[in-house]
Amino acid sequence: MNPLNPEDIDDLRQLIEFLKENQVAEFELERGDVRIRLKFSGPEVPGNGVSDLANLLAGARATPAPAVAHAPAAAAAVAAEAAADPNEGLHIVKSPMVGTYYGSPSPGASSFVAPGDQVAKGQVICIVEAMKLMNEIESDAAGEIVKCFVTNGQPIEFGQPLFSIRPA
């Protein structure tokens, strides 16, 4: 296996933060002879995952990694973010099935909803394709869309957060 350069480690760190932010439970990437598989479980991941992975990657490199010195600071920053929960008081709409997320009714069409939009209970907010069937997902709460946790065409899991809604 080729050693990772500092840019690769920074990219990997950003990927890990993105996956945690969007509450992705499992991720696998294969490029040439490099294969990365990440699986997050339980609440201990935000504090330990980044520093453990940074130490593991630093050990795989031939030269000392300046990124290792930043790993405890990054882990502390992630832990601080977890302590100050930005989603407190927000309703989270979760995927009722495994499939592929689509934010609009067809390619090129405008999105069902976007952050800042007001939604009514029962309003269609996205589509999840599962086994070649397009399933309209309805909002289970009325209020303002605060954040969309997934991107168009992204594979999603059962129970994965899709949107946060500030109840009206």
Higher pLDDT, 68 or 144: 144
State what percent of residues in the chain have pLDDT above 70.
Answer: 70
Q: Give 150's pLDDT tier (boundaries 50, 70, 90).
A: very high
User: Tell me, what DSSP letter sits at residue 1?
Assistant: -
Residue 24 confidence (pLDDT): 78
Whether residue 90 is predicted with pLDDT greater than 80 in this model: the reply is yes
Q: In the numeric block, which tokens belong to residue 128?
A: 């999840």
Whether residue 62 is predicted with pLDDT greater than 50 in this model: the reply is no
Amino acid of residue 3: P
| Reported pTM | 0.49
Residue 47 confidence (pLDDT): 47
Q: Give 41's pLDDT tier (boundaries 50, 70, 90).
A: low
Of the candidates 122, 160, 118, the one whose C-alpha atom is nearest the C-alpha of residue 143 is 118
Residue 68 confidence (pLDDT): 45
Angle at which helix 6-21 crosses helix 66-83, to 10 degrees, equals: 10
- Give the helix/strand (H/E) hosting 28: strand 26-31
Residue 35 confidence (pLDDT): 76
Q: Which residues, at least 6 apart from 103, have a Cβ–Cβ distance to it below 8 Å?
A: 111, 112, 113, 126, 127, 148, 152
Q: Give 86's pLDDT tier (boundaries 50, 70, 90).
A: low
The domains of the chain, with CATH numbers, are: 6-83 (no CATH), 91-167 (2.40.50.100)
Higher pLDDT, 21 or 133: 133
Residue 22 confidence (pLDDT): 76
Angle at which helix 45-60 crosses helix 6-21, to 10 degrees, equals: 160
Instruction: Read off the pLDDT of residues 2-34 as tens digits, 9 standing for 90 and up.
Output: 566 777 777 777 878 777 777 777 777 777 777
Whether residue 61 is predicted with pLDDT greater than 70 in this model: the reply is no
CB 25 within 8 A of CB 157: yes
Sheet holding 161-167, edge to edge: 91-94, 161-167, 143-148, 118-119
